[in-house]
């Protein structure tokens, strides 16, 4: 599966608290995240859902977390759907306020501190 996103959050332990960071592509384009999923139609039970495939963090991301979503180019996303992958990452990271990760956070709120 492919999970489309325009951003994600990673949490970094800072002292006795966890600080969320806002991560997105520099060019604003969607992120194609490799995913594995199942539906009840495939398994015959209620275990439906998906997980994001991760890989080792690189460059600035390693300072925040040791892994990141496996981001694919549109071309490799097509290949991933045919069971072959090639990672691609063009991300930028921002420290954000913890409230931003709450589901009810307003879209017009500035996430950066």
**Helical spans, DSSP H, in the chain:** 40-43, 74-80
Q: Taking the mean position of all CA atoms in its chain, how far away is CA 75? A: 18
Fold of 2-101: hypothetical protein yedk fold (3.90.1680)
For the residues 18-26, what does the mean pLDDT come to? 91
* Residue 60: per-residue pLDDT: 64
| Prediction pTM value | 0.61
Q: Which of 93-97, 98-102, 104-108 has the lowest mean pLDDT?
A: 104-108
């Amino acid at each position: 599966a492919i999970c489309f996103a325009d951003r994600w959050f990673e949490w970094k332990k800072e002292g006795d608290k966890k600080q969320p960071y806002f991560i997105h592509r520099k060019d604003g384009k969607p992120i194609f995240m490799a995913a594995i999923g199942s539906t009840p139609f495939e398994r015959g039970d209620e275990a439906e859902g998906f997980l994001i495939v991760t890989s080792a963090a690189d460059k600035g991301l390693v300072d925040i977390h040791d892994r990141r979503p496996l981001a694919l180019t549109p071309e490799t996303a097509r290949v991933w759907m045919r069971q072959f992958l090639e990672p691609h990452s063009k991300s930028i990271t921002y420290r954000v306020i913890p409230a931003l990760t709450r589901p009810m956070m307003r879209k017009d709120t500035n996430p950066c501190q």
